[in-house]
Amino acid sequence: MFDPVSSIDDWFHSGVFLIWFGNPAYTRIPHYHFITEARYRGCEVWTIAPDVSPSATNADGHLPVRPGTDAALALAMCQVVIEEGLVHTRFVQEQTDLPLLVDPATNRYLRQSDLVEGGDEEQLYAWDSVSGTAVEAPKGNLRWGGVDPALEGTFTVETLSGPREVTTVFALVRSRLQDYTPEKAAGICDIDADAIRRLARLIAAKPTNILGSLNAASKHYHGDLIERSQALLLGLTGNWGRHGAGMRAWGAGYFDGMLIFAMKTTSGPEAASNLLDMLDAPATPPSRQTRT
């Protein structure tokens, strides 16, 4: 699929609608009625932008973020979601990489090749809280069955080089987010800490949609980090793959190169890998011709 989210009419099902890098009241007039109709059903509409636009004046809330600091705002909301116990645990365990085991000394996933001679480099692991052992992450199906992947903790695994202490991606993310408490982020993005907390709690409680635009974060330097922070916020709260949720924009290269999918000649991860190898290959300099 070209776009990883639902069609425009699904805006109607949103419980929280974030206009973030956009002004649809002015630029998407044929579509805007889905936003106003969602408000009739109790949806809260928030505009996150430094300027007062038509979309801001018609929203329930406006956060005038300092330009370029949107990632700090999103990460502060992620910090609130985790610290206040608002994480959608089942979604995080099943649909994200947050339960996967990592060696904190190298920030590298624990792989089968670390445990057995000739092991698979692409086989990753989680820690099963039921059996108290490292278990292989399923490849063909995201469901864990009877396994209960731990999201936090430090565990000892026997590797080819001896015992090694590992932890989870979630634990590393939680530690990193301590740099983005609402109070710390407020000094970066100029948004009051209480306002950050309020919006984070709303997002965790209701189906949340993030709407960008053609001039979304993907058009800005390090905009991918803003988008990743937004995606993390929706991932922690389970706001992917259900009505009224997800994030969308029309920026070429959205999510580090969405147009890769349009360039693939066949389906599957191998085709994507071959394409990335081609894009990473050094350019061949033009041949020089000697004039006579």
What would the DSSP string read from start to end of the chain? --SSS--GGGGGG-SEEEEES--HHHH-TTTTHHHHHHHHTT-EEEEE-SS--HHHHTSSEEE-PPTT-HHHHHHHHHHHHHHTT---HHHHHHHSSTTBEEETTTTEE-BHHHHSTT--TT-BEEEETTTTEEEEPPSS-S--TT--B-SS--EEEEETTEEEEEEEHHHHHHHHGGGG-HHHHHHHH---HHHHHHHHHHHHHS-EEEE--TTSGGGSTTHHHHHHHHHHHHHHTT-SSSTT-EEE---TTHHHHTTHHHH-SSSSHHHHHHHHHHHHSPPPPPPP----
Question: pLDDT in tens for each of the 292 residues of the chain?
Answer: 455 678 889 999 999 999 998 899 998 899 999 999 999 999 999 999 999 999 999 999 999 999 999 999 999 999 999 999 999 999 999 999 999 999 998 899 999 999 999 999 999 999 999 999 999 999 888 889 999 999 999 999 999 999 999 999 999 999 999 999 999 999 999 999 999 999 999 999 999 999 986 667 777 778 889 989 999 999 999 999 899 999 886 554 444 455 666 677 787 778 878 877 876 777 666 555 555 5
Choose one of 174, 201, 233: the last residue of a domain.
Answer: 174
Say which CATH number the domain at 227 has: 3.40.228.10
Cα dihedral 37→77→239→202 (10° resolution): -40
Asked whether residue 247 falls in the same domain as residue 108, the answer is: no
Asked whether residue 75 falls in the same domain as residue 116, the answer is: no
Asked whether residue 141 falls in the same domain as residue 260, the answer is: no
Asked whether residue 76 falls in the same domain as residue 189, the answer is: yes
Is 287 inside any structural domain? no
Asked whether residue 121 falls in the same domain as residue 139, the answer is: yes
Asked whether residue 57 falls in the same domain as residue 76, the answer is: yes
Q: Which pTM was predicted?
A: 0.84
Asked whether residue 199 falls in the same domain as residue 243, the answer is: yes
Is 2 inside any structural domain? no
Beta-bridge mates of residue 19:
47, 211
Is 3 inside any structural domain? no
| Edge-first strand listing for the sheet containing 162-168 | 108-109, 101-103, 162-168, 155-159
Is 288 inside any structural domain? no
Is 1 inside any structural domain? no
Is 292 inside any structural domain? no
Choose one of 154, 174, 194: the last residue of a domain.
Answer: 174
Asked whether residue 66 falls in the same domain as residue 127, the answer is: no
Asked whether residue 80 falls in the same domain as residue 184, the answer is: yes
Asked whether residue 244 falls in the same domain as residue 194, the answer is: yes
Asked whether residue 216 falls in the same domain as residue 78, the answer is: yes
Q: Are 185 and 76 in contact (CB under 8 A)?
A: yes
Q: Which domain holds residue 164?
A: 97-174
Asked whether residue 121 falls in the same domain as residue 241, the answer is: no
Describe the crossing of helices 70-83 and 169-176 by its angle, rounded to 10 degrees. Answer: 120
Number of independent structural domains in the chain: 3
Is 216 inside any structural domain? yes
Choose one of 151, 174, 197: the last residue of a domain.
Answer: 174
Is 133 inside any structural domain? yes
